Structure 1
Amino acid sequence: MRRYSIADVRSTLKNRDSWWTVYFVDPLACPLTKLIANRTRITPNALTVTSLVIGLGSAVSFAVNQLAVGALLFYVSFLVDCVDGKIARLKGTGSPFGLWLDYVGDRIRVVFCAAGLAYGQYVLTGDVVYIVLGAVLAVLDLFRYVNAPQMKRVREAVHLNAEAAAPGGQVERVPSKRLMPRVNRLLARHRVRSHLISGIEFHAAVFVVAPLIGAAALLPVSTGASLLLLANEVFIVYRMWLFTRRAATPRESREHALIGG
């Protein structure tokens, strides 16, 4: 069996990732990946199933009002979930079924944890607002992960249409306008994506940070994280709308507008 070094493991890291993963998960996930890759024959799919089982344990802990235990189990579940992708890239054992299993497992974990959190707090307090909170958390997560691949398909379709319409298949690329380019370059050097919150930070805030703080933090932290995630999604959709408008505008019209004719 080949012996993998920590440098080998780090070569599997994504070029850009969420700040929560970069700073709070990868420092543990990398040595754990090295240990598992060198000392076991555990497959990525087996790790994905293990992650899901631990995640369901987190949901049960939330349901019986063991918030700190549930938070730690959710963190461990996400940690194992990160390791399975690194193992797959390290050993070249990834598969389309593995991608599907990972995707579905993540959604099941979040929905059950949201339900467990809502149920546990409702039983404890009798306040129906926690039931509403659980539903909102589940819907936001599902929207985020259903919306992302659909937006990707839209962009791919726009590019294909542009290539088909362009003479010789040469597509005019519209340069992207990034806000705060220096900040973005700084974040890129640390592998951090430029957004403040995504699905991963949303999960971390709701299922790790808030439960560790205590029951009093569940509503304000979850509400704040939900609003930030929703704002981020609206911004992404707005950017996609601008992209499709630019792509739909004939090149001659853009050039005409640029010269002010």
Structure 2
Amino acid sequence: MNRKRQLKSTGFIIGSASVFVCFFVLFFSVSQKNRTFAQMNKDYQSSDTYQEESLLDRARFVTKRDGEATIVVLGSSVTFGKGATLEQPVWGELLENELNQTDGVKATVINRGYSGYSTADLISKNKIEAVIQDKPDIILFELCLINNNRYPQNDIGQTKADIQLIMNAFKEQLPDTLIILQTANPTHYDQVVLEQGKVAYDQYNDEIAEYVRTNQWPFIDTYHLMLNEMEEQHLSAEAVLSDAVHPNGDGYYVWFELLRDRLAVPVKMLH
């Protein structure tokens, strides 16, 4: 009986020691990884590259640090991809394909576009919290102005407050995440006042774009860039839209090309 107790006690000691060794190895490994992670961040943030950082620079750095960059595209149905095709997919998927063909970059794009959503909907339906839970390295935030402008039209002052609240949440919860804001595509309603006493879509874009620039947030004014591109290429709205609002495959590709042209532009120059 004593022999059994002795063996049991020895087994317990050996088992405990094994657990302790495993815990120590795991703790050391995690600690070492955290130190390496912190040092890489410190080195990058003191580098010349960081001073002129672009979206591509950030994606390349995170790939080197973590093995992969996580990018969230956030917005409305024109981020989700309504009107896109398998042959010519939405701009977020095109972006992922482009980045994964770029030397030194491996990226995954998470699509958090929601049909019919305004900025108020993103907040009230906890979609901002969902993005925070993704812990992305980069966020491309399409500002939902198509829906904020329509049926019913959200007050522009409230839209500004929504954007500020969202940006505050991101900066507090994701302080190391690169966030770039975007307007969306032109529609058939650009100069149509949809409700008495309200403003048209182009006016809405103008005022929100000015607000974003005043806050000095990295910004791609897709709306005006697409209008300019359509004029240069002699493209009508019908040529780039699948209906009155949503781009078709060609429209999403024009959007993506404008984004691609700015991947290597320093974010402080995006305005």
TM-score after normalising by structure 1: 0.29
Question: Quick check: which one's strand share is greater?
Answer: 2
TM-score after normalising by structure 2: 0.28
Question: Quick check: which one's helix share is greater?
Answer: 1
